[in-house]
């Protein structure tokens, strides 16, 4: 007794599942690639901000370790540098909050489609809401960065720090 129809159906089901899995993997790859490109470009502002804010050279190591999942962001000066860098890249409004339009354009400039750009902006916006406003804007920026980093890791979008560093050093 031949069950050729059922066998064919199971094969087709398997092909569809594999195709969906490949699309999901490609989506993570492209999201991770966008995060990589954004990180490399964002890091270009670090040297300028180190000089402007008279930040110590340890900032280079802090930013190198930024995307390492096990690295805890604790240095308040990282928050100060992030504010400066975001300002230099025109990603914040005069009140110090993320400028949604500019942030979406920044993501799209680095390869994100509209949906990914919106998702990234929504992640940052959610992190801004969870970080209480206080007297210390550097500490608030650090808290937003911690939240954003955790969300990016949950999505498996974090760029490889070794590859980011190699690209940054190759441009120096």
More confident residue, 25 or 54: 54
Helices (H), the chain: 4-53, 58-65, 76-88, 100-109, 114-130, 137-154, 161-170
Band the pLDDT of 22: cuts 50, 70, 90: very low
Tell me the pLDDT of the chain averaged across its residues: 81
CB of 57 closer than 8 Å to CB of 35: no
CATH number, position 32: 1.10.238.20
Structure tokens at 37: 């490109």
Quick: pLDDT tens for 129-162: 998 888 899 999 999 999 999 999 999 988 887 7
Res 123 pLDDT > 70 = yes
Average pLDDT over residues 22-28: 41
More confident residue, 114 or 132: 114
pTM of the model: 0.77
Question: What is the extent of the structural domain holding 145?
Answer: 4-170
Give how far the C-alpha of residue 40 lies from the chain's centroid of Cα atoms, to the nearest Å: 11
The set of residues, in sequence order, having a beta carbon less than 8 Å from that of 133 and lying 6+ positions away, is 140
Place of tokens 């008279």: 54
How many structural domains comprise the chain?
A: 1
């Amino acid at each position: 007794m031949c069950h050729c129809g059922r066998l064919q159906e199971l094969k087709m089901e398997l092909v569809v599942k594999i195709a969906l899995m490949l699309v999901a993997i490609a989506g993570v790859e492209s999201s991770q690639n966008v995060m990589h490109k954004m990180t490399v470009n964002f890091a270009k502002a670090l040297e300028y901000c180190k000089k402007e804010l008279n930040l110590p050279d340890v900032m280079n190591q802090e930013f190198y370790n930024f995307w390492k999942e096990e690295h805890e962001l604790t240095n308040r000066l990282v928050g100060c540098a992030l504010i400066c860098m975001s300002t230099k890249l025109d990603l914040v409004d005069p009140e110090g909050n993320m400028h949604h339009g500019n942030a979406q354009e920044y993501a799209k400039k680095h390869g994100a489609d509209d949906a990914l750009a919106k998702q990234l902006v929504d992640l940052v916006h959610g992190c801004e809401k969870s970080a209480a406003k206080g007297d210390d804007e550097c500490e608030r920026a650090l808290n937003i960065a911690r939240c954003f980093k955790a969300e990016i890791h949950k999505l498996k979008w974090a760029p490889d720090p070794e590859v980011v560093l190699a690209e940054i050093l190759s441009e120096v």
